[in-house]
């Protein structure tokens, strides 16, 4: 059997391996057996999902697999991914499951898992579960089959938890905020939270159909929200992705401020208050060189990890750090949450606007980014273009061209069949030539 788990759980096109109802049933049985190894006491799992049509199918299949091993299932319905991490811990569950493909199109879906501490599972736990999927799992005795129950107030519990991360005496009165929920999991909780804190809310992407999640909206397509910010004279825009674990911010002019700028703002703020643990920020290899230079200029460190918020969180826990994230908008603040939380990060930014009295455009320009270019090349099943000799030669030449004042990063996506080619350099023209030379070589290898 091919490897199931990628950088963030299991993901793929719905009704195509591995994202089939049959496989979800097997995964449910395997993960249920893994977390019920002692066969004692009451065991429970919470399941959340985003707004994809296929979520109904996977919710039912996972429930069947889990209850067949004696696990009791608590169904949350559509809630953000961080809500699952939160409620897994607060409801004393053995396991949390989120059904979502995050920022991917509606035809994709995925399954990601949280342990009883609210953190995503380790690589070893995923490997053990994958082995159980391959071996098959004996169902429990008929009298020990688990129950399933819908939890109607999950989203309200999450709203209260998110609001508790906001300064208690502070309100958002007078702030006009565009919030783009990507027709996804936060389509109710995000506007509700902002309104309850006093903001004038202009919602975008809050009419999910099962087919329109991330479609021309959300953190991967912020143009619509940017136009709305300008049209309504809003002070700021908050763009979430399909499962609301990442955020992209827009200033009052509709200009995008990515995760790097936000992390720079928070790192400097927390360091000034002696709140930045270890005087370090954890980010991935994709974060801009400008962020690294910003941190160094303040006597702070940037710790880099592999791509994926799970790797960021692992490094944060190992080093005792409390701030980390990704350029793409996963922001992890372990003082408040166990995983990336787009809405919570957006609230922290709004708090900084209120506290400082500065416009969002000023707060979202903490440093001048080094020119950066990212291009993707799609490849087919079974293809390994990075092993091609000509591709390796092109990569070696590009690295030599960029050495000294830039860098080249080549990697396979963990969630899609893509080769990602990213470069940074002070000379933008040189950087573009280097990226294009590698892209052409990879395209040739894919066509061969």
Catalytic amino acids?
102
Angle (CA) 349 353 355, round 5°: 110
Burial 292-311 (b: 16+ CB within 10 A, else e): bebbeeeebbbbebebbbbb
Cβ atoms of 132 and 34 closer than 8 Å: yes
Instruction: Take residue 325 and report the two structure tokens written for it.
Output: 């994230």
- Report CA-CA distances (Å) from 4 to 127, 152, 270: 9, 31, 39
Collapse the DSSP code of 97 into the 3-class scheme (helix H, G, I; strand E, B; otherwise coil) and give the result.
strand
Of 274, 302, 341, the closest CA to residue 98 belongs to 341
Where do we find the tokens 């089959």?
Answer: 145
Identify the bridge partners of residue 99 per DSSP, sorted by sequence position: 49, 111
Residues 325 and 312 sit within 8 Å (Cβ to Cβ): yes
Give first-to-last CA distance, the chain, whole Å. Answer: 26
What are the structure tokens assigned to 431, written together? 């950087």
CB-count burial class (<10 Å; 0-12, 13-18, 19+) for 220: buried
Q: What are φ and ψ of residue 64, in 5° steps? A: -60, -45
Edge-to-edge strand ranges of the sheet holding 418-425: 372-378, 418-425, 406-412
How far apart are the C-alpha atoms of 218 and 37, rounded to whole Å? 40
3-state DSSP call for residue 190? helix
Type and span of the H or E element at 180: strand 176-180
Q: Three-state secondary structure along 116-161?
A: CCCCECCHHHHHHHHHHHHHCCCCCCHHHCCCEEECCCHHHHHHHH
Question: How many other C-beta atoms are found inside a 10 Å radius of the C-beta of residue 116?
Answer: 14
């Amino acid at each position: 059997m091919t490897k199931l788990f990628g950088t963030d759980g299991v993901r793929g096109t719905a009704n195509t391996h591995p994202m089939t109802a049959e496989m979800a049933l097997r995964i449910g049985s395997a993960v249920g057996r893994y977390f019920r190894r002692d066969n004692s006491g009451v065991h429970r799992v919470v399941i959340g999902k985003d707004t994809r049509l296929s979520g109904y199918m996977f919710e039912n299949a996972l429930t069947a697999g889990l209850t067949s091993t004696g696990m009791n299932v608590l169904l949350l319905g559509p809630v953000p991914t961080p809500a699952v991490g939160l409620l897994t811990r607060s409801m004393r569950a053995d396991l949390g499951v989120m059904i979502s493909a995050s920022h991917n199109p509606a035809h994709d879906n995925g399954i990601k898992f949280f342990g009883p501490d609210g953190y995503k599972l380790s690589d070893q736990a995923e490997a053990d579960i994958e082995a159980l999927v391959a071996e098959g799992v004996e169902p429990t005795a008929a009298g020990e089959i688990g129950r399933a129950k819908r939890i109607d107030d999950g989203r309200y519990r999450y709203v209260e938890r998110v609001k508790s991360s906001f300064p208690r005496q502070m309100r958002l009165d007078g702030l006009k905020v565009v919030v783009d929920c990507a027709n996804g999991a936060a389509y109710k909780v995000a506007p509700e939270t902002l309104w309850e804190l006093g903001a004038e809310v202009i919602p975008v992407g809050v009419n999910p159909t099962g087919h329109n999640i991330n479609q021309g909206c959300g953190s991967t397509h912020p143009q619509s929200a940017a136009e709305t910010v300008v049209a309504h004279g809003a002070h700021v825009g908050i763009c979430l992705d399909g499962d609301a674990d990442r955020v992209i911010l827009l200033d009052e002019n509709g200009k995008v401020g990515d995760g790097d700028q936000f992390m720079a703002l928070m790192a400097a703020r927390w360091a000034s208050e002696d709140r930045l643990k270890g005087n370090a920020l954890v980010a991935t290899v994709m974060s801009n060189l400008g962020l690294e230079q910003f941190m160094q200029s303040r006597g702070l460190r940037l710790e880099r990890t592999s791509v994926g918020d799970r790797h960021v969180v692992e490094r944060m826990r190992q080093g005792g750090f409390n701030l980390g994230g990704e350029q793409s908008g996963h922001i992890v603040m372990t003082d408040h949450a166990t995983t990336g939380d787009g809405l919570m990060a957006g609230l922290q930014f709004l708090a900084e606007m209120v506290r400082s009295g500065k416009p969002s455009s000023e707060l979202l320009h903490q440093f001048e980014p080094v020119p950066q270019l990212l291009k993707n090349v799609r490849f087919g099943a079974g293809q390994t273009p990075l092993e091609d000799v000509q591709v390796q030669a092109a990569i070696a030449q590009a690295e030599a061209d960029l050495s000294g004042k830039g860098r080249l990063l080549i990697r396979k996506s963990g969630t899609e069949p893509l080769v990602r080619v990213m470069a940074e350099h002070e000379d933008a023209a040189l950087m573009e030539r280097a990226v294009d030379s590698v892209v052409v070589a990879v395209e040739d290898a894919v066509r061969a």
